[in-house]
Amino acid sequence: MADFESINLDFLHARAALKWGPWDRDVISLSVADIDFPAPREIKEAVINAVNEDRTPYSAYGGDPDVLDAVCEKLNRVNRIPATPDDVHMIPGTMFAIFLVCYHFLNQGDEALISPAPVYPPFIHNVLNTGAVPVFNPLDFQHGARLDVDDLKARITPRTRMLMVCNPHNPTGRVLTLEELECIARLADEHNLLIFADELYEDMLFEGEHISLASLSKEIYERTITVFGFSKAFGIPGYRIAYITTRSRYKKELKHRIHDMIVHADTLAQAAAKAALTDGKAWLGEFMSHLKRVRDYGLDRLSRTPGVWCREPEATPFLFPNIASFGMTSEEMCEYLREEAGVIVMNGAEFGPPGEGFIRINFATAHSVLKEAMDRMEAAFKRLA
Ligand SMILES: Cc1ncc(COP(=O)(O)O)c(C=O)c1O
């Protein structure tokens, strides 16, 4: 059994440079979307084996054949996407796909329609970096954070080039329903839009079912570039490994672009990816039981805190409470919690304007750490009330 009840703070301060590195020892970081636990033994052993097998030469562009086979088996069985190795490309991290689609498809003045919004900030940054405009389709927080289809329709213009969908959704933890996905697919068909689907959090599901957009129909697979990764559910973001799948007519040129940039993804990281797919299930089951326990605990604590409102996330390691009633911006609240409670959370407004009034809490840690952070935040909120 893996141990999810304690964390090694010395290790995290030394190695988790983004999440824990910047902060003093008495500060608790619930910010960057790292999990605080070591990777599964099966993944570590696969990397060690790959080192011992001298997997040092240049390998195939799209990915090592055995890795692509494992990816395709999973895509067909789990995601119901009829992928063959030719439809897949291993890449150095999910983020690379966000960069790639923006860099390749967007031009100055184009619009990228982000649905749902708010969204993982690099979606916004990469759109802006190309000179294009991010257009936000905010979730309807008044009605269970459901997709606002009328708003989505209204935001499509002749300049809309791409629909960018993050599902399961960072930061709210929503999992889009079949009905919602079909609306997105129908609009993309009607307006001949390319779809970029980031499904990185597919394995971090507490309730419901994750449905891949590209599984809806042959036509949708042909207009969709989907990215899946290993950074979150298997806790290996440092290995920088993910994969895209598409049957779009842009497949060949996208592959050439990747070859021109990186040749191929790291062979050791690919071995880790294969182990996650083939041997990671037992560990993942244990991890998700722990994560559900801490989600329920965190949600219960927030729901008892006057002035805070938080919906239950069906997936992801995130709680996304609304704190607008305290009369502070999200940024001010983050600063306040850092100074007054010694707890680091993320500013909802960094996820785009629809995230203003919210903060994001990453609960993928030990129960004792989350409890201490919740105690401190609750006391800080009470002082404001
Ligand atoms: C929605 C989403 N996409 C991509 C990434 C980046 O993933 P990777 O580490 O695989 O590049 C993150 C990281 O938090 C994310 O939340």
Q: What is the pLDDT of residues 201-221, one digit of tens each?
A: 999 999 999 999 999 999 999
Same domain assignment for residues 63 and 204: yes
**Residue 9 exposure: Cα atoms within 13 Å on the Cβ side:** 11
Give residue 78's pLDDT. Answer: 98
Same domain assignment for residues 65 and 207: yes
Which atom of ligand 1 is the closest one to the Cα of 237?
9
3-state secondary structure 282-326: HHHHHHHHHHHHHHHHHHHHHHCCCCCECCCCCECCEECCECHHH
Same domain assignment for residues 200 and 332: no
Calculate mean pLDDT across residues 134-150: 97
d(Cα 371, Cα 293) in Å, to the nearest integer? 12
Query: What's the total number of domains in the chain?
Result: 2
Q: What is the pLDDT of residues 266-288, one digit of tens each?
A: 999 999 999 999 999 999 999 99
Give residue 200's pLDDT. Answer: 98
* DSSP labels, 58-82: ---SS--HHHHHHHHHHIIIII---
| Residue 170 CB–ligand 1 contact under 6 Å | yes
339 in a structural domain: yes
Does the pLDDT at position 249 exceed 90? yes
H/E segment holding residue 28: strand 28-29
> What's the gap in Å between 196 CA and the centre of ligand 1?
14
Q: Cβ distance 342 to 376 under 8 Å?
A: yes
Please say which residue of 262, 279, 296 terminates a domain: 279
Please say which residue of 279, 308, 339 terminates a domain: 279
- CB 270: neighbour CB atoms within 10 A? 28
| Residue 315 CB–ligand 1 contact under 6 Å | no
Same domain assignment for residues 255 and 286: no
Return the residue whose CA atom lies nearest to atom 13 of ligand 1: 33
According to DSSP, residue 230 is labeled: S
245 in a structural domain: yes
- pTM recorded for the entire structure: 0.98
| Residue 369 CB–ligand 1 contact under 6 Å | no
d(Cα 119, Cα 352) in Å, to the nearest integer? 7
d(Cα 222, Cα 335) in Å, to the nearest integer? 45
Same domain assignment for residues 275 and 285: no
Give residue 109's pLDDT. Answer: 96
**Tell me, what CATH number does 94's domain have?**
3.40.640.10
H/E segment holding residue 242: strand 242-246
296 in a structural domain: yes
> What's the gap in Å between 237 CA and the centre of ligand 1?
8
> What's the gap in Å between 307 CA and the centre of ligand 1?
30
Q: Which of 167, 99, 170, 98 is nearest to 355 (CA)?
A: 170
| Domain containing residue 76 | 44-279
| Residue 362 CB–ligand 1 contact under 6 Å | no
Does the pLDDT at position 385 exceed 90? no
Same domain assignment for residues 260 and 303: no
Give residue 1's pLDDT. Answer: 83
Q: Cβ distance 146 to 140 under 8 Å?
A: yes
Give residue 370's pLDDT. Answer: 98
Calculate mean pLDDT across residues 59-72: 98
**Tell me, what CATH number does 340's domain have?**
3.90.1150.10
Does the pLDDT at position 70 exceed 90? yes
Residue 48, amino acid: I
Q: Cβ distance 171 to 310 under 8 Å?
A: no
Same domain assignment for residues 259 and 206: yes
Q: What is the pLDDT of residues 330-369, one digit of tens each?
A: 999 999 999 999 999 999 999 999 999 999 999 999 999 9
Q: Which of 134, 127, 118, 164 is nearest to 353 (CA)?
A: 118
Between strands 133-138 and 111-117, the pairing is: parallel
Q: What is the pLDDT of residues 13-65, one digit of tens each?
A: 999 999 999 999 999 999 999 999 999 999 999 999 999 999 999 999 999 99
| Residue 229 CB–ligand 1 contact under 6 Å | yes
Does the pLDDT at position 236 exceed 90? yes
